[in-house]
Structure 1
Amino acid sequence: MHYRISSSNPASRTIEVEFRLTGLAAPTVELQLPAWRPGRYELQNFAKNIQRFELFDQTGNPLIFQKITKDRWRVQTEGVSELVARYTYYSNTVNAGTSFADDRLLYVNPVNLCLYADDRLHETCTLELDVPDHWEIACGLTPTSPNILSATDFYELVDCPLIASPDLQHETYKVGETVFHIWINGNIQPDWERIRRDFYQFSEAQMRLFGEFPEKDYHFLTLILTTPFYHGVEHRNSTMLVLGPNDEGEGLYTDLLGVSSHELFHAWNVIRIRPAELLPYDFTKENYFTTCFVAEGVTTYYGDLMLRRSGVFNDAAYLKELQVLLKRHFEANGRAFQSLTESSWDLWLDGYDKGVPNRKVSVYNKGATVALILDLHIRRKWNHARSLDDVMRLMWERFGKPFIGYTLDDYRAVTEEVAGEPLDWYYDRCISGNEPLEPLLNDYLAFIGLRLESDAIDPVNTPAVFLVQPDDPEGLENRLRWLNDQH
């Protein structure tokens, strides 16, 4: 499968795609466009952005075809050895999961606009970019010649976004044998010395937790906008980040650190330690699963914690981020009716919208909160000799490294093995239940010398919550052991 992408009129916000499929033998071929993308578990129906769609054989003669679903076409290929699809894709939105073109930027998430045939998913793909020779290309795919990238199969292709531009700024750093690339496109002057130092520190801390890195290289692809924005998406050996505004203040830098650490943790957790229901991805429909509290909640918990453990954040900076996390859960949906497993399932329904009040919880915020509870439970029982780190290492060794997919029962078995006891109370209350978590959380926060308080006692209205630090020398000692991962 070969793709050629260009934008001859970027002011129109259209991207032109040519898809060439060779080696045909069947009388019909069905072409599919993905309905969703990895990292965002909702149907996005990318076919709605296709403006013009044409199909030809190897001699340029039009082929007869019929659209049989919203994003699937059946093509008559009797006597045809090769087909060429030419279509335009409209995109005027920039976030970490879209595609976009202007006169100095071609930004592509291939999952938005690359067709495939079901029986050819595991074949090599090539992606050719029609951009000026002096433009740089930032992508996790392997370049085979100027402006041509190669993927081992369709799954790799659509998990590798790209930025092409004459304005890319690029730096690298190395941890062990892994080379990390930082690409920035936007009107800023990065403090590369600071960025290299901080990115090295949190990358090294995460690699130390798991003992290895899944890929030989990794790319942080970053677009900086002039307007406020915060979005990141994980990919096989890269992440796509969109941030703003480009005021170069501490807020922008803190956002860059936070989203980068979070997305890097995904290189293990969800890219490789993946729910069985998502292995392999079925791009035609919803892929329901109940463990997004592991995929996103545990990752959210570790994203900021790794910044503290690595020394990028000090205690005050980390506790500030922890308070923000807890406020997002307890002030927004601390009394919601759905459990984490229910809300994970319903990501495909309305998980990324505000939705009906008090219906669902955030798999990110509540997921991170219950990850904190589990981590502190294990640490308290084993006096820090065991922790959630051990859970994630076992998940990596048993499911991520062999890449076989895990179930909710698998995750529960690993957590109970590390805890050394049944965890019925945890899964009943925190995962499959919906009761308020403040009393339980405060029981564990007390172990590290913290307490969650509210500014109201009215149970009808949502109170504001905040973290306090009581004078507790023993709690402070445990907090420091937790934050520094001291056994």
Structure 2
Amino acid sequence: MNYKIYSKNKSSHFIDVEFQVQNVENETLELQLPAWRPGRYELQNFAKNIQKFEVFDAEGKLLPAQKISKDRWKVQTNGAKEITAKYNYYANLVNAGSSYVDENILYVNPVNICVYAEGFINEPCKLELFLLENQVIAGLNNIQKITKGNAEINFNDFYHLADSPFIVSANLKHATYEVDAVKFNLWFEGNLSRAYLGKISTDFKKFTEEQIKLFGVFPEKEYHFITWILPIAYYHGVEHRSSTMQVLGPDGQDFNGSLSDELYIDLLGLASHELFHTWNICKLRPVELLPYDYTKENYFPTCFVAEGVTTYYGDLMLYRSGVFDEKQYLKELETYYKRHFDHSDRASQSLIESSWDLWLDGYTQSIPDRKVSVYHKGAIAAQILDLHLQRTSGGSRSIDDVMRILWQRFGASENGTPLRGYSMQDYFDICEEVAGESLTWYFEQCILGTESLFELLNSYLTHINLRLIRNEENLVQLIKYQS
């Protein structure tokens, strides 16, 4: 499958796409635009952004193409062995999971805009981009050549292409660092002084080293942090196979191209979280998500592992690596304690039920006292497990052991693609294996149950000289005391 991506009229915010598939054998061929994107477990309806969609044979003759669902077309090939779909996609939304184009920047998340041909999803893909003078491509590892403004990039298959976002711009700031012979790229679009990149590189390298130390290996040969700094308040990140896309703001123009303290903390927290996803979900994946089915919802009950454990580790790695001091780490802990206990402590759903219902209303406000956040309650459940393992083993075991074993048994990959996925039972079994005892109480109360975890969490926090209290407004606060 071959793709050409360009924009004939950048000010219109339309991206033009040409998709070509060869060696067609059947009388009909179905083309699918993904209905959702990895990292956001809800239907996205990307097809609503397509203005015009046409399909041609190799001689340029128009072929009949009929929509058979909201994002799927059936093409009558009329004997053609090669077909080309030409369409344009309205890209005028700036966030970490969308696509955007104007006179200065092209940001593409291929899962938004690239169709694939049914039966060809595992075939190699080639992407051709058209660059203006001085423009740079950020985020891709596999650029084959750039000749006279044309760039060619190869991908193992559609899954690889769909999970490889990139930015084309003349204004990108770039820095690198290395850990264990892996190159990590920092790309920044927006108002950020190049002089600030040194501090960012230093801190990023620290938490990167700490995460690699946990798993023992980094699963990619090169990685990209792509960050777009906006002049308005914003916070959003998305994990990908060998990169993360992050959109943050406000840019703090009064700081002479540096970042405000608050925005820098946001950057660190988001980047650490998304880097941890390189293992946990991009490679170490629930069995229900192998492979991704881009045509419909992919229900799975373990998003509390994918997102909750990752949320817990994102800040923990910043603390362990010395990027966060204790005060800052406790502030981050208190933040997700408050988000859960102040708003969802009486919710009627368990973590498993809310994992399943992400596809229903996981990213929007629900009716009162219905769902819990797999991020916030999931992180609390992960911390309770961690503190229990540490306490019962005298500090010799922790949730680190759970994640290492999970990675060793289920995270192995070939060409960046996981070979097998874990089930909820696999996760439960490994937790009990590390504990050396039954953890039925933990699973029933923290994962399967709906009762408040306030007192249970406090019983473990006491052993590390912390305690949650409720103030006069019944809002939680985290306090530290001397033993």
2:124 is matched with which residue? 124
Contact residue 21 and residue 82 of structure 1 kept, 8 A: yes
Q: CA deviation at 1:315?
A: 0.5
Answer yes or no: is 1:30 the counterpart of 2:65: no
How far apart in 2 are the matches of 1:11 and 1:336? 46
Q: CA deviation at 1:139?
A: 1.9
1:344 is matched with which residue? 355
2:464 is matched with which residue? 448
- Residue pairs, 1:87-486, within 5 angstroms: 87-146=87-146, 147-190=151-194, 191-247=196-252, 248-402=259-413, 403=418, 404-456=420-472, 463-472=474-483
Query: Match for 2:235: what amino acid?
Result: Y
Q: CA deviation at 1:332?
A: 1.4
How far apart in 1 are the matches of 2:474 and 2:285? 36
Q: Residue by residue, what CA displacement relative to the aligned partner does 1:320-359 show, whole Å, maximum 9, x if unpaired?
A: 1111111111111111110000000000000000111110
Contact residue 29 and residue 74 of structure 1 kept, 8 A: yes
Query: Match for 1:384: what amino acid?
Result: G
Percent identical residues: 56
Q: Residue by residue, what CA displacement relative to the aligned partner does 1:56-79 show, whole Å, maximum 9, x if unpaired?
A: 110111001111111111101132
TM-score norm. by structure 2 comes to 0.95
How far apart in 2 are the matches of 1:183 and 1:470? 41
How far apart in 1 are the matches of 2:208 and 2:386? 21
Judge which range, 36-45 or 72-81, deviates more.
Answer: 72-81
Contact residue 42 and residue 349 of structure 1 kept, 8 A: yes
Contact residue 26 and residue 78 of structure 1 kept, 8 A: no
Query: Match for 1:374: what amino acid?
Result: L
1:10 is matched with which residue? 10
Contact residue 4 and residue 128 of structure 2 kept, 8 A: yes
SS class of match (2:343): helix
Q: Residue by residue, what CA displacement relative to the aligned partner does 1:80-102 show, whole Å, maximum 9, x if unpaired?
A: 01111111101221111000001
TM-score norm. by structure 1 comes to 0.95
Contact residue 170 and residue 184 of structure 1 kept, 8 A: yes
Contact residue 272 and residue 318 of structure 2 kept, 8 A: yes
Answer yes or no: is 1:42 the counterpart of 2:42: yes
Q: Residue by residue, what CA displacement relative to the aligned partner does 1:240-268 show, whole Å, maximum 9, x if unpaired?
A: 10001111211111111000000000000
Contact residue 141 and residue 150 of structure 1 kept, 8 A: no
Contact residue 63 and residue 78 of structure 2 kept, 8 A: no
Q: CA deviation at 1:463?
A: 2.0
Query: Match for 2:74: what amino acid?
Result: R
How far apart in 2 are the matches of 1:127 and 1:255? 33
Root-mean-square deviation over aligned CA pairs: 0.9
1:66 is matched with which residue? 66
How far apart in 2 are the matches of 1:419 and 1:100? 48
Q: CA deviation at 1:187?
A: 1.6
SS class of match (1:246): coil
Q: Residue by residue, what CA displacement relative to the aligned partner does 1:110-160 show, whole Å, maximum 9, x if unpaired?
A: 000101012111111111112214210012340011122111100000001
Unaligned runs of 5+ in 2: 253-258
SS class of match (1:322): helix
SS class of match (1:220): strand
SS class of match (1:273): coil
SS class of match (2:295): coil
Contact residue 214 and residue 400 of structure 2 kept, 8 A: yes
Q: CA deviation at 1:188?
A: 1.6
Q: CA deviation at 1:401?
A: 1.7
Query: Match for 1:435: what amino acid?
Result: E
Query: Match for 2:474: what amino acid?
Result: P
Contact residue 141 and residue 157 of structure 1 kept, 8 A: no
Q: CA deviation at 1:468?
A: 0.8
SS class of match (2:267): helix
Q: Where in structure 1 do 4 or more consecutive aligned residues deviate above 6 Å?
A: none
Judge which range, 49-58 or 397-406, deviates more.
Answer: 397-406
2:256 is matched with which residue? none
